[in-house]
């Protein structure tokens, strides 16, 4: 099976000052009638997007368009403002406030409303993989930062992204505080995982069928970061490896963690069709009531922001009991 191309994040940030305008002595007068010379400056940060483009972004941007739910939740967590998101796609419940008319609907992940975005005069636009084909056109409107995670180096790339956002929104201390909280939970889960032989199988359900995900995959944080052992060797696949119910029974995992992809994107929920299968019922996971349906909206639609990563590790922390 071909191994998918894994996006490699190379985001880094350096702060710089850039003059954005000057006013002549002849045109500027004080209230006392004296001529003055003023120079407006704008602090910017240079960010290298994951496509290699170096982008100058204003510090503390006021008009922000985000095409990634993880970036959106991170900006909110840091006290920043997001002005527009794509509402044509499903918005996770934990981000439901952005459904309000207070926030512009900038189209869909794959078909942005370029005219509306242009009229907003954004200071910066953030995108990730799903909107990457629109990078060039969006970058003609405003500085556009392509930011995503490398699933095979999840925490390193995630932390780089968050620290870059911390620099942009001048919230470096807040980033470090929230990352420390996430790491504390990770360490707690990993300690339990290191002290047990119990393993897990990650499944995604869609239209009654199941796909398995292993280490290095989009849901591989369970194995790669939290340290829970894999029930079987599965190649990293962006959309998973289709598996049969016989396969699940043969692997016989201690835990099954399931994402209902269909329900996450607004289709019929079918996770229970997989769980209630006669063959799956024979597994240790089923016998010990250790089959868990995860919050698919967070795992599938977001999953790489300060809020969503915390939700993810907290969820596994509450489920993975080894006693």
Angle at 311 between CA 89 and CA 65, to 5 degrees: 40
Assigned domain for 239 exists: yes
- Both 211 and 95 in one domain: the answer is no
Percent of the chain with pLDDT over 90: 71
Model confidence at 18: pLDDT above 70: no
pLDDT digits (tens, 9 = 90+) for 271-309: 888 888 999 999 999 999 999 999 999 999 998 999 999
- Both 236 and 126 in one domain: the answer is no
Distance between the two ends of the chain, CA-based, in angstroms? 37
Q: Nearest-CA neighbor of 18 among 102, 194, 164, 143?
A: 143
- Both 126 and 210 in one domain: the answer is no
The DSSP output letter for 29 is: B
Average pLDDT estimate for 248-258:
97
Assigned domain for 77 exists: yes
pLDDT digits (tens, 9 = 90+) for 175-189: 999 999 999 999 999
Among 139-143, 232-236, 238-242, top mean pLDDT goes to 139-143
* Range with lowest mean pLDDT among 156-170, 185-199, 244-258, 263-277: 263-277
**Cβ pair 9, 150 in contact under 8 A:** yes
pLDDT of res. 299:
95
pLDDT of res. 323:
64
Assigned domain for 142 exists: yes
How long is the chain? 323
Q: Nearest-CA neighbor of 203 among 185, 225, 224, 230?
A: 230
The model's confidence at residue 92, banded by pLDDT at 50, 70 and 90, is very high
User: Considering the chain, what is the average pLDDT of its residues?
Assistant: 86
**Cβ pair 214, 242 in contact under 8 A:** no
Assigned domain for 155 exists: no
Listed residues 148, 175, 204: the one ending a domain: 148
pLDDT of res. 4:
38
The model's confidence at residue 267, banded by pLDDT at 50, 70 and 90, is confident
* Range with lowest mean pLDDT among 2-11, 55-64, 184-193, 294-303: 2-11
Assigned domain for 2 exists: no
- Both 138 and 200 in one domain: the answer is no
For residue 130, the enclosing domain spans 44-148
Is residue 194 exposed (0-12), middle (13-18) or buried (19+ Cβ within 10 Å)?
Answer: exposed
- Both 302 and 213 in one domain: the answer is yes
Helix (H, G, I), strand (E, B) or coil at 54: strand
Count of domains in the chain?
Answer: 2
Assigned domain for 255 exists: yes
Model confidence at 115: pLDDT above 80: yes
The model's confidence at residue 77, banded by pLDDT at 50, 70 and 90, is very high
**Cβ pair 185, 313 in contact under 8 A:** yes
The model's confidence at residue 23, banded by pLDDT at 50, 70 and 90, is very low
Assigned domain for 37 exists: no
Helix (H, G, I), strand (E, B) or coil at 18: strand
Assigned domain for 3 exists: no
pLDDT digits (tens, 9 = 90+) for 134-184: 999 999 999 999 998 999 899 999 999 999 999 999 999 999 999 999 999
Identify the sign of the CA torsion 187, 205, 127, 118: negative
């Amino acid at each position: 099976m071909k191994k998918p191309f894994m996006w490699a994040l190379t985001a880094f940030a350096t702060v710089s000052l850039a003059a954005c305008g000057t006013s002549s002595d002849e045109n500027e007068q004080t209230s006392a009638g004296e001529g003055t010379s003023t120079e407006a400056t704008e602090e910017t940060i240079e960010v290298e997007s994951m496509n290699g483009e170096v982008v100058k972004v204003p510090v503390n941007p006021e008009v922000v368009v985000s095409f990634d739910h993880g970036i959106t939740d991170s900006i909110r967590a840091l006290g920043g403002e997001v002005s527009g998101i794509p509402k044509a796609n499903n918005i996770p419940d934990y981000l439901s406030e952005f459904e309000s008319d207070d926030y512009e609907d900038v189209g869909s992940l794959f078909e942005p409303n370029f005219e509306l975005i242009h009229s907003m005069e954004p200071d910066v636009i953030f995108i990730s993989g799903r909107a990457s084909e629109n990078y060039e056109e969006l970058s003609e409107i405003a500085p556009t930062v392509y930011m995503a995670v490398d699933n095979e180096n999840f925490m390193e790339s995630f932390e780089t992204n968050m620290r870059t956002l911390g620099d942009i929104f001048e919230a470096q201390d807040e980033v470090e505080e929230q990352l420390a909280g996430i790491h504390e939970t990770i360490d707690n889960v990993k300690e339990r995982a290191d002290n047990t032989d119990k393993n897990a199988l990650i499944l995604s359900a869609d239209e009654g069928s199941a796909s398995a995900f292993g280490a290095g995959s989009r849901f591989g944080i369970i194995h790669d970061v939290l340290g829970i052992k894999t029930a079987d060797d599965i190649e990293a696949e962006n959309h998973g490896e289709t598996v049969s119910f016989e396969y699940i029974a043969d692997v016989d995992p201690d835990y099954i963690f399931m994402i209902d992809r269909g329900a996450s994107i607004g289709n019929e929920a079918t996770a229970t069709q997989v769980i209630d299968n006669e063959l799956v019922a024979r597994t240790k996971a089923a016998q010990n009531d250790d089959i868990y349906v995860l919050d698919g909206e967070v795992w599938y639609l977001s999953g790489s922001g300060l809020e969503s990563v915390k939700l993810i590790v907290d969820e596994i922390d509450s489920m993975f009991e080894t006693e």
